[in-house]
Amino acid sequence: MSDPSKYSLNSKLVAQATEEWLEKRGVTKREIAELVMVLQQAYFPDLTIEECEQNVNAVLSKREVQNAVLTGIQLDLLAEEGKLLPPLQEMIKHDEGLYGCDEVLALSIVNVYGSIGFTNFGYIDKLKPGVLMRLNDKSDREIHTFLDDIVGAVAASASSRIAHRKQAEREGSTNVPLD
Amino acid sequence: MSDPSKYSLNSKLVAQATEEWLEKRGVTKREIAELVMVLQQAYFPDLTIEECEQNVNAVLSKREVQNAVLTGIQLDLLAEEGKLLPPLQEMIKHDEGLYGCDEVLALSIVNVYGSIGFTNFGYIDKLKPGVLMRLNDKSDREIHTFLDDIVGAVAASASSRIAHRKQAEREGSTNVPLD
Amino acid sequence: MSDPSKYSLNSKLVAQATEEWLEKRGVTKREIAELVMVLQQAYFPDLTIEECEQNVNAVLSKREVQNAVLTGIQLDLLAEEGKLLPPLQEMIKHDEGLYGCDEVLALSIVNVYGSIGFTNFGYIDKLKPGVLMRLNDKSDREIHTFLDDIVGAVAASASSRIAHRKQAEREGSTNVPLD
Amino acid sequence: MSDPSKYSLNSKLVAQATEEWLEKRGVTKREIAELVMVLQQAYFPDLTIEECEQNVNAVLSKREVQNAVLTGIQLDLLAEEGKLLPPLQEMIKHDEGLYGCDEVLALSIVNVYGSIGFTNFGYIDKLKPGVLMRLNDKSDREIHTFLDDIVGAVAASASSRIAHRKQAEREGSTNVPLD
């Protein structure tokens, strides 16, 4: 049985697994950055896609975010393999509208960058631009019930991060209230 | 001095004040029902405006919702009167994008009907259809920094309530999992 | 491939699976009711264990709660079988303190009965009385990383429900603001 | 009339007001640090009060936290002056158990440091050690309905921050997943 004294969290492995699994599930950081662009370009006309991608990277470096990404992808994978308990299997496979644990995990990502991200998350989750459209396509055998919400949440969080940093720049401050 | 032994919550007064203040601030239940229609008509083509309004009433009968409505309107009112502490006064008066306590209170309303409402809340809060457009108009001297998010949250909650009830009807059940 | 037109949510199966899996994982409603008693007896000296159990049943009848219970138990089960992705497997198996998705799912349960339950949830989750102590025992091969938080959340929600209902009784009202 | 083109957020003023108002309301950072000590000493025996205070300072430097602190203190102040709308005035003055907007604002603080802080928040909010006991004393004419929850939330957030940093130290990492 497990020996708790031997267990020790390895943060690097968690971070690596997050990177790898996003890639294996077909989501690039550039695509998430493009969602950020959709959300923020109207407010910051000079915003570049590289800047968006840097902010996506910063969001993905947070432990809270990594935990949610891995947990969500795990449930999607198991649903693809048909290995979940019957009613859960059906609900996740079909992205049941009345099942909201995917939104719950996604919101835990948004929360880390403060409440101003709620609106962006809901907006992008409803409109499903770019990569979200692909993830939400039900015609192939892949299941992304959790991942599409999670990717939207990472984009919304990166948008919040940009909004806070741009304000700090405007004020000539090096002190960023939420990073 | 307050005498806690004499104090006793009067739920009827809280409910009445919620009704009255929504009206005084120029928001009718019919207008909130119209937001629900925007959110739900695509899913339930037979949905009537009367049904939407009934669901808005049900949402507004919850104590958690009433508390958030009154607290939000209170802060809007004080901002109109210029009576808030300086930095808060400025932030609420100008609906500062990096101030998110309005979204926080709104989300506490959405949560009561479960996580499926997050998306609808964000979507409507971004697009600002109908009454939300008017509340969000910055050209007059009224301040609705909190109320516009709260009205959007009530509409999103009523939409969640409808989604749960329609499922119960479809299954021929009288037992509604979230009311 | 899945035919979405054939899928239809069966709420009864979700409710039944919730009941069955709580039982299979060794948690009785009476034990959850006892946690409610711990939380509420000081406020309502006449509260009976039967009343607590009725309120636990009401909480467990909500879809949002059932979804969280099933999703949490599912992840615990897969961790016991060693079937999760490596870093997630380790974190859930050892109830890693910096992994918070279990608390996230639990909070989605508490939210349904309003914000007054946060405190009770945190308190009971820290003290681990009764059944929570057993679930949290790391000496056997069972893993209840999600379930112990979820059971605490159901008890906190039932406590909130009781607090709202007792107020309605006190005011002689049949209209219960949060049920 | 407000001229939105002239308005510009001044982050420094918001930060200063937060510091000043905590002090005016009789709460020192050292007292909040002592709450952190209560929560974390069992896990990190070498933790010093200075380290706790540094973490409290870091939490208080976040904009999301400052917004919640100022909004909460504002509502407490207005309740002391008897200037709130009647039912809200009564509920906040008497720290009504069924009014949860204070917990809602507090949770928005906790969320910034991730979900692992929920438990600590609830625990400390129930037990009310140290400064929380004084803030919660109803015998004088001061009202701290919001502030006591907010101070507990700042302490819980600082505890989460410490837990994340200690793990990074243990792993010899300079990269802190949540700061």
ipTM: 0.93
Q: Inspect the interface and report whether the beta carbons of C171 and B108 lie closer than 8 Å.
A: no
Element containing residue A68 per DSSP (H, E): helix A63-80
Which residue's entry shows tokens 């870091």?
A: D58
Asked whether residue B176 is domain-assigned, the answer is no
- Interchain CB contact of B64 with C (< 8 Å): yes
Q: B41-88, pLDDT tens digit by residue?
A: 999 999 999 999 999 999 999 999 999 999 999 999 999 999 999 999
Burial of D88 (0-12, 13-18, 19+ CB in 10 A): buried
Mean per-residue pLDDT over chain B, rounded: 93
C1, C86, C88 ranked by CB distance to A141: nearest: C1
**Which residues between 16 and 55 in chain A have a beta carbon less than 8 angstroms from any beta carbon of chain C?**
17, 21
C161, B45 contact by CB (below 8 A): no
Rounded distance between C-alpha atoms, residue A109 and residue D5, angstroms: 33
Asked whether residue D104 is domain-assigned, the answer is yes
Per-residue pLDDT at A2: 43
- Interchain CB contact of D12 with B (< 8 Å): no
Q: Inspect the interface and report whether the beta carbons of C86 and A140 lie closer than 8 Å.
A: no
Instruction: Please tell me which chains touch D, using 3 or more CB pairs under 8 Å as the contact test.
Output: A, B, C
Residue C36 binned pLDDT confidence (cut-offs 50, 70, 90): very high
Per-residue pLDDT at A137: 87
User: In a mutagenesis test of the D interface, which of C90, C104, C126, C162 is the best target, namely the one with the most D β-carbons within 10 Å?
Assistant: C126
Rounded distance between C-alpha atoms, residue C159 and residue C33, angstroms: 9
Q: Total domain count for chain B?
A: 1
Per-residue pLDDT at A178: 56
- Interchain CB contact of A100 with B (< 8 Å): yes
Which residue's entry shows tokens 């039912």?
A: D87
Asked whether residue A132 is domain-assigned, the answer is yes
Asked whether residue A20 is domain-assigned, the answer is no
Half-sphere exposure of B43 (CA within 13 A, CB side): 16
Residue C138 reports pLDDT greater than 50: yes
Rounded distance between C-alpha atoms, residue A170 and residue A166, angstroms: 6
Residue A1 reports pLDDT greater than 60: no
Q: Inspect the interface and report whether the beta carbons of D119 and C104 lie closer than 8 Å.
A: no
User: In a mutagenesis test of the B interface, which of D73, D99, D110, D137 is the best target, namely the one with the most B β-carbons within 10 Å?
Assistant: D99
Rounded distance between C-alpha atoms, residue A20 and residue C96, angstroms: 21
- Those residues whose C-beta lies under 8 Å from the C-beta of residue D158, and which sit 6 or more positions away, are D32, D33, D36, D52, D55, D56, D58, D59
Window from A39-48, A135-144, C47-56, C73-82 with minimum mean pLDDT: A135-144
Per-residue pLDDT at C137: 87
Residue D144 reports pLDDT greater than 70: yes
Mean per-residue pLDDT over chain D, rounded: 93
Asked whether residue B84 is domain-assigned, the answer is yes
CA B35 to chain centre: 11
Mean pLDDT over B91-103 rounds to: 96
3-class secondary-structure state, position C179: coil
User: In a mutagenesis test of the A interface, which of C63, C85, C103, C139 is the best target, namely the one with the most A β-carbons within 10 Å?
Assistant: C85
The total number of residues shown for chain C amounts to 179
Rounded distance between C-alpha atoms, residue B140 and residue A63, angstroms: 45
Rounded distance between C-alpha atoms, residue B158 and residue B147, angstroms: 16
3-class secondary-structure state, position A92: helix
Asked whether residue B17 is domain-assigned, the answer is no
CA C119 to chain centre: 15
D14, D70 contact by CB (below 8 A): yes
Asked whether residue D179 is domain-assigned, the answer is no
Residue D47 binned pLDDT confidence (cut-offs 50, 70, 90): very high
Residues of B in contact with A122 (CB under 8 A): 118-126
Q: Inspect the interface and report whether the beta carbons of B108 and D100 lie closer than 8 Å.
A: yes
3-class secondary-structure state, position A97: coil
The more confident residue out of A179 and D115 is D115
Mean pLDDT over D76-93 rounds to: 96
Q: Please give the C-alpha separations between residue B31 and each of A102, B51, B53, in angstroms, as whole numbers.
A: 30, 13, 9
Phi, psi (degrees; rounded to nearest 5) at C50: -65, -40
Mean pLDDT over D140-161 rounds to: 96
Mean pLDDT over B132-151 rounds to: 92
Q: Please give the C-alpha separations between residue D63 and each of A49, A168, D9, D11, D112, in angstroms, as whole numbers.
A: 26, 11, 11, 8, 10
Rounded distance between C-alpha atoms, residue D58 and residue C93, angstroms: 32
Mean pLDDT over D84-97 rounds to: 96
DSSP for D81-94, written as a single string: TT-S-HHHHHHHHT
A58, D176 contact by CB (below 8 A): no
B165, B96 contact by CB (below 8 A): no
Q: B81-92, pLDDT tens digit by residue?
A: 999 999 999 999
- Per-residue exposure over B53-73, b if at least 16 CB sit within 10 Å of its own CB, e if not: bbbbebbbbbbbbbbbbbbbb
Calculated CA dihedral for residues C150, C153, C158, C159, nearest 10 degrees: 150
CA distance B44 to chain C (A): 16
Q: C81-120, pLDDT tens digit by residue?
A: 999 999 999 999 999 999 999 999 999 999 999 999 999 9
Mean pLDDT over A101-108 rounds to: 96
Picking from C33, C113, C115, C17, the residue whose alpha carbon sits closest to that of residue C72 is C17
Domain span at residue C112 reads 28-170
Which residue's entry shows tokens 């009367």?
A: B50
Q: Inspect the interface and report whether the beta carbons of A100 and C108 lie closer than 8 Å.
A: yes
Asked whether residue B149 is domain-assigned, the answer is yes
Which residue's entry shows tokens 């008897």?
A: D82
Residue A5 reports pLDDT greater than 80: no
Q: Inspect the interface and report whether the beta carbons of A101 and C9 lie closer than 8 Å.
A: no
Indicate which CATH number applies to the domain containing A133.
1.10.3760.10
C71, C14 contact by CB (below 8 A): no
CA B168 to chain centre: 24
Mean per-residue pLDDT over chain C, rounded: 93
Element containing residue A159 per DSSP (H, E): helix A145-170
